């Protein structure tokens, strides 16, 4: 499957952006995701192997992503570029397992 798969939906005056993404040792796919300020962001994370908690330090977000995958939701409350990473050591390539969330 190729990622990202993105859908937008309006609910109660707010845009909800759903992004399907993949994770595996030692990569997020895609490694850069985009949203707009004020949107509810729903990440549907398809995991190919071991536990990879998603951490976005500058947004105070930590969410477990077990081997069966997870759905993570948050509001893109401010503009900027925010790094995300794997919050649990997952092998020799763990340190390079990083990505970026760009909020316009």
- Per-residue pLDDT of 23-67, as tens digits, reads 999 999 999 999 999 999 999 999 999 999 999 999 999 999 999
Report the b/e string of 80-94 with b at 16+ CB within 10 A: eebebbbbeebeeee
Please write the tens of the pLDDT for every residue from 69-95.
999 999 999 999 999 999 999 999 999
CATH class for the region spanning 5-103: mainly beta
What is the C-alpha separation between 20 and 80, in angstroms, rounded?
21
Query: What does the pLDDT read at residue 5?
Result: 85
Q: What confidence tier does 3 reach under pLDDT thresholds 50, 70, 90?
A: confident
* Predicted model pTM: 0.92
pLDDT computed for residue 1 by the predictor: 60
């Amino acid at each position: 499957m190729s990622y990202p798969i993105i859908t937008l939906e309006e609910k109660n005056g707010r845009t909800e952006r759903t992004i399907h993404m993949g994770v595996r040792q030692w990569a997020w796919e895609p490694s850069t995701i985009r949203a707009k300020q004020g949107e509810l962001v729903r990440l549907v994370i398809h995991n190919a192997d071991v536990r990879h908690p998603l951490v976005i330090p500058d947004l105070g977000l930590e969410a477990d992503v077990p081997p069966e995958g997870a759905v993570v939701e948050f509001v893109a409350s401010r503009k900027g570029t925010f790094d995300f990473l794997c919050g649990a050591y997952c092998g020799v390539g763990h340190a390079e397992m990083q990505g970026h969330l760009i909020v316009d």
